Amino acid sequence: MGIEIERKFLVNDTSWKKSIRAVRCRQGYLCLGTGVTARVRVMDDIGYITVKGGGEGITRSEYEYAIPAIDAEEMLDGLCIKPLIEKNRYFVEHDGMVWEVDEFFGENSGLVVAEVELEREDQIFSLPGWVGKEVTSDSRYFNAALVRNPYTNWKG
């Protein structure tokens, strides 16, 4: 069974962004069901389709498969709920862990979040200095939620 265990944080500053390559990401959602989402994504000219299910705590089921990029682009343009999620993803190593920092554009411009994937829920890890408030359980920061209520629409 595919599972994902991750924690998500807001980013305080840009000190993490030292000569790190960005991977451009476009993603959209085919299905935004209750507890289940079906996502299409193109990263670095590779297409992916992902199904995520509900879970317990910070653990949830996740199944991701590579698909032809041209198929993913067609699904993004013709089948996915708008707006699409547009972001740069950076992979930042800190204390033996790889953090994924997402810098959003378009309808979610101004939002920067960092995620770290864990092997188990109680795994201990150190926080980089550029990491701020934890938003793991704040559903507003889920990418699927950012389609329904983009960051640029939030008030204070």
> Which ranges constitute the DSSP H helices of the chain?
69-78, 143-148
Here the tokens at position 29 are: 């959602």
Of 29, 63, 65, 151, which is the active-site residue? Answer: 29
User: Position 118: which residue type?
Assistant: L
Helix, coil or strand: residue 120: coil
Has 65 been annotated as catalytic? no
Distance CA(51)–CA(90), nearest Å, equals 22
86: nearest Cα among 25, 41, 17, 36: 25
Cα 99 to Cα 67, 108, 115, 153: the distances in Å are 25, 20, 6, 27
Helix, coil or strand: residue 13: coil
Catalytic residue numbers read 29
